[in-house]
Structure 1
Amino acid sequence: MQLATVVIGIGVLFGLNGCDAGCSNEISSRIESPRGTHVAVVFNRNCGATTGLNTQLSVIAKGEAVPEAPANAFIADGSLALRVRWVSESELVVAGFDGARIVKQAKLANGVAVSYE
């Protein structure tokens, strides 16, 4: 019994370690900050048939590639038409996720304050 538990535990660890390997990001929009130092990137992340599509938002430095990882600012289930606007160089407002199941809603992403309406 203990051997089975150890084998299952190791399998879970290796499975979780490779979770992002089969995922792909499809960028919906890129919204540059007023002075162009940051970019808000909205994308749909698809990790295969066993998981549903979700909408994500990352705040990255201009010129930086979108990481092949979950977003640093916002994640919600489903394909959403997020509305994103910059208030200033360091403030971003996100809307358009009414009724969606929110997975992540960060207040700060890459040095930018993020608020939600």
Structure 2
Amino acid sequence: MKVWKRVAISFAILFVGVPLAIAGLFIYATTGMCGNQVYDEVLSSNSEHKAVLFQKDCGATTGVSAQIAIIDSDDELENESGNIYIIDGHPKEVAPRVRWISNTELRIERGLNGSEYKAESSWGFLDKIKVTYGEGSS
């Protein structure tokens, strides 16, 4: 092989291959840094859906949060954020009580005060589930 081909291949590896390898390692290392730990699951009365109360923890440099997701009852919670409710703090300390009022309404028994990162009022596309907030029973 001629010298100029070796030099060209060396430069290609150095300036293209190495940065791509570093980027790939970074993406691989940071994927899945967060984890979810389920604390409670509450089935709707028709057992079609469940509200999952869980803790999301992304490592030592971030705090934990209490989150709530509505998912189909036969699904497992994926490593994603809560789709209806997120608040800072450990679920044992800040998580509200969750209960189904009906098959189409979930009650989160905590009034909204602005400290929430997410507090959705509904979930779903075609068969929406209404989400209400407040102290005690309604």
TM range (shorter): 0.7 to 0.9
Alignment-mate amino acid for residue 65 of structure 1: E
Please report how far the alpha carbon of residue 99 of structure 1 lies from its aligned counterpart in structure 2 after TM superposition. Answer: 6.4
Find the counterpart in structure 2 of residue 90 from structure 1. 104
Moved over 6 A (4+): 97-100
Quick one: distance in 2 between partners of 1:43 and 1:86?
A: 17
Find the counterpart in structure 1 of residue 6 from structure 2. none
Please report how far the alpha carbon of residue 97 of structure 1 lies from its aligned counterpart in structure 2 after TM superposition. Answer: 6.6
Greater relative contact order structure (CA < 8 Å, 6+ sep): 1
Quick one: distance in 1 between partners of 2:40 and 2:114?
A: 19
Quick one: distance in 2 between partners of 1:109 and 1:20?
A: 27
Q: Which structure shows the higher helix fraction?
A: 2
Provide, for residues 6-45 of structure 1, a one-character-per-residue CA deviation record: whole Å limited to 9, x for no partner.
xxxxx9xx88xx8762001111100000110000000010
Consecutive unaligned residues of structure 1, counting only runs of 5 or more, are 1-10
- Are 1:61 and 2:75 matched, yes or no? no
Question: Residue 117 of structure 2: SS of its match in structure 1?
Answer: strand
Find the counterpart in structure 1 of residue 32 from structure 2. 21
Q: Which moved more, 1:104-113 or 1:53-62?
A: 104-113
Question: Residue 21 of structure 1: SS of its match in structure 2?
Answer: coil
Distance change in 2, residues 1:100/1:78 (3 Å)? farther
Superposition CA RMSD, Å: 2.3
Q: Which structure shows the higher strand fraction?
A: 1
Larger radius of gyration: 2
Question: Residue 43 of structure 1: SS of its match in structure 2?
Answer: strand
Consecutive unaligned residues of structure 2, counting only runs of 5 or more, are 1-22
How high is the TM-score relative to the length of structure 1? 0.78
